[in-house]
Amino acid sequence: MSPATRIDRCRSCGASGTESILDLGRTPLANALLHEHELDRPEPTHPLELVFCPACALVQINATVPPDELFRDYPYFSSYSDTAVARARELAQRLIRSRTLGAGSLVVEAASNDGYLLRHYREAGIPVLGIEPAINVAEVAVQNGIPTRTDFFGAELARSLVAEAHRADVFHANNVLAHVPDLNGFVEGIATLLAPGGLGSIEFPYLRDLIDHVEFDTIYHEHLCYFSLTAVDALFRRHGLVVVDVERIPIHGGSLRVFCGRAGEHAQSGRPGALLAEEAELGMQHIGYYRSFAERVGKLRDELREQLARLKQAGHRIAAYGASAKGSTLLNYFGIGRETLDFVADKSRVKQGLYTPGTHLPIVPPERLLEEQPDYVLLLTWNFAEEILAEQQAFREAGGRFVLPIPRLEVV
Ligand code: ZN
């Protein structure tokens, strides 16, 4: 295991003098699920601290774990979430119409996962190219008929694609910008790869939702950056791209979908300007906006720990749902483990039979909830609450209750 690299300069603008927002201490990698035989071994941990750049307003963590360690055997398959698949189809259909895409077009996606998005273009007869660094995930995409390169997207790959006469009429990057160590290289790559008049569609969790709803559990080593539109706008402009439209979308606890293109090639909607003005009004370009965050996270920790302790004292059995990265941050930082929770249920068969990092909870299929009928289930994947509560109707009708930690602590 290679150590994390400490980052002293801003990942976007290169300025020094970042300021601390929240220090989560040393934690194991949030997706480093363990096999049973690994439970007795010392587990590697890395520093995890959220900082703010006063020069360009980018919020980021100040350590980088080598990407090869994070992504080569990534257990997350997008198609496992019904919500993600439905949203992907809707976005593809919309862009096919609005960009009048056809057999002569090309749609490229960075971090294309198992082809959950590109397959909707392919089904409409539009050529696609996926770029996915995780070997096991890229193999699944290829089996699904999605041409996929096993690689990290960046300036260098974009130049070689252009040299092979690939230009993107639409370029997607969903939930990847936050993971990229070379942020400027990635955005330069978008500017390089876009065909004349081409459009980039970039989605990432919105920092404002993270701060306002205390979504601190979305902070983990894979997520290097946490974006406001202010920070993204500065980053894109540096590479000749402008934000031509923006939407707030209710995914992953609140995200932004930003449409970008080369300066001068697109009509700009009024929405980016309006959102930038809102962020300025809120003060998101100053450290003051972020000052109370650590305190609010501490308060949530106290409340949740007290709540679970009360339930435990009353003799209730408690399990968790969702062996997710955010669950790992929450359990490790809040110090909630086997003394409180019996197991974690998760739909992903890749995760079942393994153990959660740091807390070593066994991961089991969701059917175990009905079989064992624990009294309470701590919902760690609260971003899919609606979907999971609906799926667990039988468990709930039998008396099982869910504890939702975020956006506010509630029992349903
Ligand atoms: Zn900066």
Distance CA 228, CA 209 (A): 10
- The string of pLDDT tens digits covering residues 148-178 is 999 999 999 999 999 999 999 999 999 999 9
Beta bridge partners of 168: 194
Per mean pLDDT, which range of 42-46, 160-164, 280-284, 352-356 is the poorest? 42-46
Q: What is the average pLDDT across 108-116?
A: 94
Distance 308 CA to ligand 1 centre (A): 40
Distance 182 CA to ligand 1 centre (A): 13
Distance 282 CA to ligand 1 centre (A): 19
Distance 41 CA to ligand 1 centre (A): 39
* Residue of 211, 281, 206 lying closest to 249 (CA atoms): 206
Distance 328 CA to ligand 1 centre (A): 28
Q: Is CATH 3.90.76.10 correct for 294-411? A: no
Distance 9 CA to ligand 1 centre (A): 8
Distance CA 346, CA 398 (A): 19
Distance CA 162, CA 130 (A): 15
Q: Is the pLDDT of residue 74 over 60?
A: no
* Residue of 323, 328, 331, 339 lying closest to 301 (CA atoms): 331
* Residue of 11, 7, 18, 6 lying closest to 54 (CA atoms): 18
Residue 135: which pLDDT band, with cuts at 50, 70 and 90? confident
Beta bridge partners of 22: 50
Distance 351 CA to ligand 1 centre (A): 37
Q: Is the pLDDT of residue 1 over 70?
A: no
Distance 235 CA to ligand 1 centre (A): 9
Distance 233 CA to ligand 1 centre (A): 12
Distance 234 CA to ligand 1 centre (A): 9
Q: What is the model's pLDDT at position 73?
A: 53
Residue 290: which pLDDT band, with cuts at 50, 70 and 90? very high
3-state secondary structure of 248: strand
Give whole-number Cα distances, 105 to 8, 43, 126, 170, 357, in Å.
42, 47, 6, 8, 43
Domain 78-290, CATH homologous superfamily name and number: Vaccinia Virus protein VP39 (3.40.50.150)
Task: Tell me, yes or no, if the two domains 78-290 and 294-411 fold the same way.
Answer: yes
Contacts of 189 (CB under 8 A, 6+ apart): 110, 153, 154, 155, 156, 157, 158
3-state secondary structure of 367: helix
For the chain, give every domain's residue range.
Answer: 78-290, 294-411
Residue 78: which pLDDT band, with cuts at 50, 70 and 90? low
Distance 177 CA to ligand 1 centre (A): 15
Distance 22 CA to ligand 1 centre (A): 17
- The string of pLDDT tens digits covering residues 206-265 is 999 999 999 999 999 999 999 999 999 999 999 999 999 999 998 888 999 999 999 999
Distance 288 CA to ligand 1 centre (A): 16
Distance 10 CA to ligand 1 centre (A): 5
Sign of CA dihedral 92, 95, 97, 100: negative
Q: What is the model's pLDDT at position 369?
A: 97
Q: What is the model's pLDDT at position 69?
A: 72
Q: What is the model's pLDDT at position 79?
A: 54
- The per-residue pLDDT of the chain, averaged, comes to 94
**Scanning the structure block, which residue is given the tokens 């909607």?**
269
Distance 338 CA to ligand 1 centre (A): 40
- Model pTM greater than 0.85? yes
Q: What is the model's pLDDT at position 86?
A: 87
Distance CA 61, CA 221 (A): 8
Q: What is the model's pLDDT at position 312?
A: 97
Distance 340 CA to ligand 1 centre (A): 41
DSSP states along 8-40: -S-TTT--S--EEEEEEEEE--TT--B-GGGTT
